[in-house]
Amino acid sequence: MPRLRAYADIPIHNHAKRGQHSPTYKSWTNARKRCYSVNSNRYPEYGGRGIIMSPRWDNFLNFLADMGERPLDKSLDRIDPNGNYEPGNCKWSTAKEQGQHRRPNRGWKNHEQSRQTQPSKN
């Protein structure tokens, strides 16, 4: 007997079984959290800067159709780091590939400056 769903119009995609989410589904949900959840520790770098997810990708099945399954050892990457999560600006990349087009980390420079101005504890 098939499992009953709360909403009959929502297709089952088998990427979010209870307690077992696929890597592709995790990438989609994590990107959404970065864009829309003020409780996410990454929100200031994404949603706080105005980065959003394409309305087409509000539906996981559309995201899956556009991006395909997440390949092993890759994660969701924006080609333009200042652009939105949307078709044409996203791809699956390795950590090395993502590191080649990061935004400059201004926080580290400020951290170094503050370390240099603080008196030593000796």
One digit per residue, the tens of pLDDT, for the chain of length 122 reads: 344 344 444 455 667 666 688 999 999 999 999 999 999 999 999 999 999 999 999 999 999 999 999 999 999 999 999 999 999 999 999 999 988 876 665 554 444 443 344 444 44
Half-sphere exposure at residue 119, Cβ-oriented, CA atoms within 13 angstroms: 2
Query: pTM for the whole thing?
Result: 0.72
The dihedrals phi and psi of 47, each to the nearest 5 degrees, come to -55, -35
Query: 107 burial class (0-12, 13-18, 19+ CB within 10 angstroms)?
Result: exposed
Query: 24 burial class (0-12, 13-18, 19+ CB within 10 angstroms)?
Result: buried
pLDDT digits (tens, 9 = 90+) for 70-92: 999 999 999 999 999 999 999 99
